[in-house]
Structure 1
Amino acid sequence: MPHSDETRDEALRNLSARAGALAARTSQTPEDYGAKAGSYGYRLLGVLLGGLFVGLGFGAAVDVVAGIRPWGMIVGVLLGFGISIWMAVQSAKKMSAEIERELGPPRDLPPDDEDD
């Protein structure tokens, strides 16, 4: 309620300022899910390439030590690729569980009547 010496315009400006402050406090900024999805993609790519290159490195080291020139590298690359696929699947499961905890279970889209 405005004070007796306060004019109506001042009271409206004061009320508007308080309403704006309340709106600023209560409004939530939407989360940037595009950036989060991009980071998940880069993380999976890093896991895949990392496993491949680590297998390549171990295979090359076995080739030098054991003297079985191409076979150590071939087996190392295949093992590294297999392990990186397994690690990527495990990482994707963890990421899916994290998103499901945050957003809830996935929902179906409403039926599209324009397909006819």
Structure 2
Amino acid sequence: FKEAIVNGKRIYGKGIRVIVSMQPLQAEEQMNNMFQSRFAIVVNRSYGNAVERNRIKRQIRSIVVTLMPQIRQGFAVIIFPDTTCKAMEYNHLVESVKNVLRKSGVLRQ
């Protein structure tokens, strides 16, 4: 994910910031044809206490898992939720994540 932070494309959405980068293919992954996109969810300490930070991570992880069949392979994606996510309902958070991933080209149309 270090390369994604340095060279990645930054996309901003409602309550969410995303950094996206193409992953270099590893030799093992070429042989196994297993090259799924990787996701990291980073929540700043200023977001809130540990309970709030873990809750938003669980919610975003759940959204990403449900979207996995529609996600293209070969991306490294870092998701940074903003403090405005606290006030969002779950269905609005789902739409926000979908929109940001569509904008970045990770999610198929």
Normalising by structure 1, we get a TM-score of 0.28
> Which has a greater percent of helix?
1
> Which has a greater percent of strand?
2
- Greater radius of gyration (CA): 1
Normalising by structure 2, we get a TM-score of 0.30
Higher relative contact order (CA 8 A, sep 6+): 2
